[in-house]
Amino acid sequence: FFTSIFEARYVSGVVAGLKLNQMIEDGTVKKDACKIGYVGAYTYAEVISGMTSFFLGARSVCETATMKVRYTGSWYDQGKEQEAATALIEKDKCVLISQHADSLGAPTACELAGVPNVSYNGSTYSAGKNTFIVSSAINWAPYFQYIIECAVKGQAIDSDWCGDIATNSVVLSGINEGVAAEGTEAKLKE
C-alpha cells in the first residue's frame, strides 16, 4: 500500500512555478536564472518520481525553470539536508528549494538565506515563516478507514492499494499567503 504522492508533488511544483514567475515579474530573478534546488534523500524511485513530477509542475507554468538536485544519502539528517540546501543556494545559485527529505534542514537553510521553499511531509512553516510556501504530504486517514472497514466487515484487505488526490490520500498543506505568488489559490482550484 502507498499513495500517488507524485500527484501532489506536481501540484506543489505548479505553486513553485507561479512563485518563480512572480520573482521574474518583480525583478528578483532574471527569466533565464529560474533554477530550482532539490534536496533528495536517495536515488530511489519515489524520490525520482517526486522530483520529476515537481519539476514538470513548475515547468507547466514557468517554461524557463531548471532544476539541480543534491542527495544526502539519508531519509532524515538535518545537518546534511541543511548543508545540501545551502550548497544549492550558494554554489548552484538556486532561487527556490524543494525537498524529499524529512527534517527541517532545507527549510531552515531557506529561511536563513531568504529563499522560497516548498517542503514535503507536512508544513515547515515553523522553520520558515518568511520562506515556506506550501507542502505536499501523504494523508493516511483514507487508508486506515479502508482497512478498519474491511476488518469490521470481515473482508480481505487489498494487498495492492494506492490512494491519490481523488481519495484525499495526497494533499497540500495550507498555502502561506505571505510568501506564495498572488493567484496561487485560484490556480490550485483549477
Residue 128 CA to residue 72 CA, distance in Å, equals: 21
Q: Which residues contact 189 (CB under 8 A, 6 or more apart)?
A: none
The rounded percent of the chain whose pLDDT value lies above 90 is 96
For the stretch 85-127, pLDDT in tens is: 999 999 999 999 999 998 999 999 999 999 999 999 889 999 9
- Predicted confidence at residue 94, as pLDDT, reads 98
Q: What is the mean pLDDT of residues 66-93?
A: 97
- Predicted confidence at residue 36, as pLDDT, reads 98
Residue 26 CA to residue 17 CA, distance in Å, equals: 14
Residue 30 has pLDDT above 90, yes or no: yes
Residue 162 has pLDDT above 90, yes or no: yes
pLDDT mean across residues, the chain: 97
- Predicted confidence at residue 122, as pLDDT, reads 87
Q: Are 170 and 3 in contact (CB under 8 A)?
A: yes
- Predicted confidence at residue 170, as pLDDT, reads 97
Band of the pLDDT at 153, cuts 50, 70, 90? very high
For the stretch 39-50, pLDDT in tens is: 999 999 999 999
Q: Are 18 and 151 in contact (CB under 8 A)?
A: no
- Predicted confidence at residue 190, as pLDDT, reads 87
Residue 117 CA to residue 108 CA, distance in Å, equals: 9
For the stretch 53-65, pLDDT in tens is: 999 999 999 999 9
